[in-house]
Amino acid sequence: MYPVIIDNVSKNFGFTKAVNRISLTLRQGEILGCLGTNGAGKTTTIKMMLGFIAPDSGKIEVFGGDPRQALARRRIGYMPEAAYYYPYLNAYELLTFYGGVCGMERSVIRKRAGELLERVGLGDAAGRLLRTYSKGMLQRAGIAQSLLHDPDLLILDEPLTGLDPLARIQFRDMITELRDQGKTVFFSSHELSEAELICDRVAIIKHGELVLCDTVDAVAGDGGQNLERVFLKTLEETQGETGGEEVAR
Ligand SMILES: Nc1ncnc2c1ncn2[C@@H]1O[C@H](COP(=O)(O)OP(=O)(O)OP(=O)(O)O)[C@@H](O)[C@H]1O
Ligand SMILES: [Mg+2]
C-alpha cells in the first residue's frame, strides 16, 4: 500500500487554479521534496493531503483511505509553514499538550518529548516560554512536535526555513534516519541545495501543475547539473506546458 496517492487532483480558489490535475504517488521509505516558486501550490497540495481542504476534483488516498479519517491522521506527523503556538507554554509543555491531543500515555510523552527536544537542540531551552524563542528555535520545536507520536508519514511545510547550518545538518540526519527506519517524508522547500542532499525524489510544481517528478540522481546526477540549475531550466522550459506523473495503483 502506498502511503499517499494523489490522483488527478485540482483545487481552485475563485479564479486561481492553485492545484491543477496533479498526480503523484509517495512510496514507503522515501524522502520526496516538493519544490516550486511562491504561490506554486505546494501548501495547497499539503493541505489536501492532510484532509484540511477538499479537492474540487480528483482523489487523495492516505494509507489506502480518506485523509480525513482518524486512522490515516494518526499515522501522519505535520509541521505547518507558519505555526502559531501558545506563547505562554514552554517547549516541553507544548509537546505534552500535543501528546495529550494524540491520546498518548503521559509516561511515553515524557520520554519522547525529552528525547526529541534534545535531538533538535532544545534540551537546554525546553523550560523557556515559546514567546522568548527565536524563529529557528520555534522551527525546531515544530519539528519535534511533528515527530512526537512516531508517525509513519511526515509532512513538513518548509521545515528548513529559519534553521541555522547546524540545525540543517541535524534535520538532515534526523530525516534520513527516519527514512532508513521505513518512514515516508514529504516536505516543501525553497532550499534547493539542501533538498538535493536530503531527497530521494523531487517534485517541481509550477502554477499548480506538476512539471517534473523524478529521482535526484536522474535529474541532477550527472555532475554538471545541480538541482538549482535543473529547477531554473524546468521553469523556463515548461512555459504553458503541463506535466505529471501517472498515478500508481
Ligand atoms: N485560502 C486561499 N484563498 C485564496 N487563494 C488561495 C488560498 N490559499 C492559497 N491560495 C492561492 O493558491 C495559490 C497557491 O498557494 P499555495 O499557498 O499553495 O502556494 P505555495 O507553493 O505554498 O507558496 P509559498 O512558497 O509562498 O508558500 C496562490 O496563488 C495563492 O494565492
Ligand atoms: Mg506554502
Give the mean pLDDT of 180-191.
96
* Mean pLDDT, all residues of the chain: 92
Closest atom of ligand 1 relative to the 40 alpha carbon: 21
- Write out pLDDT tens, residues 41-60: 999 999 999 999 999 999 99
What pLDDT was estimated at residue 238? 78
Around ligand 1, the residues with Cβ closer than 6 Å are 13, 16, 18, 36, 38-44, 81
For residue 191, which of 163, 217, 218, 210 has the smallest C-alpha distance?
Answer: 163
Residue nearest to atom 2 of ligand 1 (CA): 13
Flag whether the pTM goes above 0.75: yes
The domain defined by 1-13+27-75+155-240 folds into: Rossmann fold (3.40.50)
Q: 53 CB contacts (<8 Å, ≥6 apart)?
A: 11, 44, 47
Give residue 230's identity as a one-letter amino acid code.
V
Sign of torsion over alpha carbons 217, 223, 228, 232 = negative
What pLDDT was estimated at residue 240? 52
What pLDDT was estimated at residue 220? 84
- Ligand 2 centroid to Cα of residue 225, in Å, is 26
Is residue 241 over pLDDT 60? no
For residue 113, which of 89, 96, 129, 130 has the smallest C-alpha distance?
Answer: 96
Distances (CA, A) of 23 to 30, 34, 61, 137, 205: 17, 13, 11, 35, 11
Which has more confidence, 198 or 241?
Answer: 198
Is residue 249 over pLDDT 50? no
For residue 55, which of 107, 106, 9 has the smallest C-alpha distance?
Answer: 9
- Write out pLDDT tens, residues 66-118: 999 988 989 999 999 988 889 999 999 999 999 998 889 999 999 999 999 99
The residue with cell 481542504 is: 53
Distance of CA 64 to the CA centre of its chain: 19
What pLDDT was estimated at residue 83? 80
What pLDDT was estimated at residue 224? 63
- Torsion on CA atoms 222, 223, 227, 233, rounded to nearest 10: -70
What pLDDT was estimated at residue 68? 93
Which has more confidence, 1 or 23?
Answer: 23
Percentage of the chain surpassing pLDDT 70?
Answer: 94
Domain boundaries, the chain: 1-13+27-75+155-240, 83-150
What pLDDT was estimated at residue 243? 42
Give the mean pLDDT of 131-145.
94
Ligand 1 site-directed mutation target among 6, 13, 47, most atoms within 8 Å of CB: 13
Closest atom of ligand 1 relative to the 42 alpha carbon: 21
Q: 195 CB contacts (<8 Å, ≥6 apart)?
A: 33, 35, 189, 202, 216, 227
Burial letters 19-39, b for 16+ CB under 10 A, else e: bbbbbbbbeebbbbbbbbeee
Residue nearest to atom 28 of ligand 1 (CA): 39
- Ligand 2 centroid to Cα of residue 164, in Å, is 20
What pLDDT was estimated at residue 106? 94
Cell numbers of 151, please?
Answer: 508517525
- Facing residues of 153 across strands? 76, 184
Q: Where are the alpha helices (DSSP H) in the chain?
A: 42-49, 70-73, 91-101, 106-119, 135-147, 165-180, 192-198, 216-220, 227-237
Confidence of residue 192 (pLDDT cuts 50, 70, 90): very high
Residue nearest to atom 25 of ligand 1 (CA): 38
- Ligand 1 centroid to Cα of residue 157, in Å, is 13
Percentage of the chain surpassing pLDDT 90?
Answer: 80
Dihedral pair phi/psi, residue 84, rounded to 5°: -110, 90
